[in-house]
Amino acid sequence: MFFHIEKGSSVPITRQLAGQIRAQCLSGVLTPGTRLPSVRELARELAVNVNTVFRVYEQLAAEQLIELRHGDGTFVCERVAAAEAARQLESQRQQYTLEFESLIRRGLLLGLTAADLRRKLTEALKEAGRSLEDSTAARENKS
């Protein structure tokens, strides 16, 4: 599982994190029954306040995407209604598209060329891939 927070983003940290966890639950990246990091673990990993992560977990529990089991941990819910999951995933994809298009427009307004934007996207994809590999390897080493 891979979560990344952009601290300088205009999108609040809680929205960034909730959106990423929600999308991974709905797309099947996080399968039902998967244990999520504890609030403290995730807060430390992302260098954010514990209350921020707790609020996100509470919000996602209210949406019935995750389950908070006192003393046992936080888990992806066993059952997410298929129609609801599809609706939420489509909503997330639409939100992503809007944010991506906005980012491209902002880059163009700042004078970046299409080639600049492609190069930055390619670099960002490579970096995200490396971060994902590092995160996966670190988790495997902890086990």
Q: Where are the domains of the chain?
A: 1-81
Which DSSP string corresponds to the chain? ------TT-SS-HHHHHHHHHHHHHHHTSS-TTPEEPPHHHHHHHHT--HHHHHHHHHHHHHTTSEEEETTTEEEE-S---HHHHHHHHHHHHHHHHHHHHHHHHHHHHTT--HHHHHHHHHHHHHHHHHHHHHHHHHHHHH-
Q: What amino acid is encoded at 99 in this protein?
A: E
pLDDT at 133: 74
pLDDT at 7: 86
Q: Given 1.10.10.10, 2.40.30.10, 3.40.50.1000, 3.90.550.10, which CATH number is that of 1-81?
A: 1.10.10.10
pLDDT at 110: 95
pLDDT at 143: 55
pTM of the model: 0.61
Mean pLDDT in each 10-residue stretch from start to end of the chain (143 residues)? 84 93 86 92 94 95 90 84 70 90 94 96 89 68 62
